[in-house]
Amino acid sequence: VLSKPNTAKINLDLPPIERWIELSRSYSNQLKATINNVIELADKIDSRIVPFVQEKLPKLAETLPQDYVDEMKSISSGSGLDFGDIVLFNVFYEAFSA
């Protein structure tokens, strides 16, 4: 065992667009490191994947459930990371299984 993670609260009474701002701001460095790693790996598999995803996913994300789209926007807003990268991270189970 290396450590035990912290516990955070997400307030579901807030509008989805505000829920994750504070948390993702506090952990923006960890989030950037993780997403950069995901993007690097995707690049290794095929250098066309990341540009395709970054271009298409923000538009396609609008077809996902609106509350979750807003939550991902709040993560993007809090961390300063691109919305497309956040969407990629949230569909990476499917995306990388492919």
Partner 1 sequence: CTSIVAKDGKGGVIHARNMDFGLFLGFDFKNMTWSLTEALRPSLINIDFVRDGQTQFTSASFIGYVGIFTAVRQKKFSLTINERFDVDGGWVGIIEWLLGKHSAHWLGFLTRDVFEKCDNFKCAQDYLMQAEMTLVSPVYFVLASGEDPIGQIIVRDREDVSEVVTIGQEEDKSKSGSWFVLQTNYDPSNEPPFFDDRRHPGLKCMSELSSNAASGDNFISKEGLFDVLSTKPNLNMLTVYTSLIDIKAGIIETFVRECPFP
Which residues touch 29 (CB under 8 Å, ≥6 apart)?
A: none
Q: Does 47 bind partner 1 (CB under 8 A)?
A: no
Q: Does 97 bind partner 1 (CB under 8 A)?
A: yes
Q: Which of 34, 61, 20 is nearest to 10 (CA)?
A: 20
Q: State the minimum distance, in angstroms, from the CB of residue 17 to partner 1.
A: 12
Q: End-to-end alpha-carbon separation of the chain, Å?
A: 32
List the one residue from 17, 18, 64, 82 that touches partner 1 (CB under 8 A).
64
Q: Does 6 bind partner 1 (CB under 8 A)?
A: yes
- Residues of this chain that bind partner 1 (CB under 8 A): 1-13, 20, 23-24, 27, 30-31, 33-35, 37-38, 40-41, 44-45, 60, 63-65, 68, 71-72, 75, 79, 81, 86, 89-91, 93-98
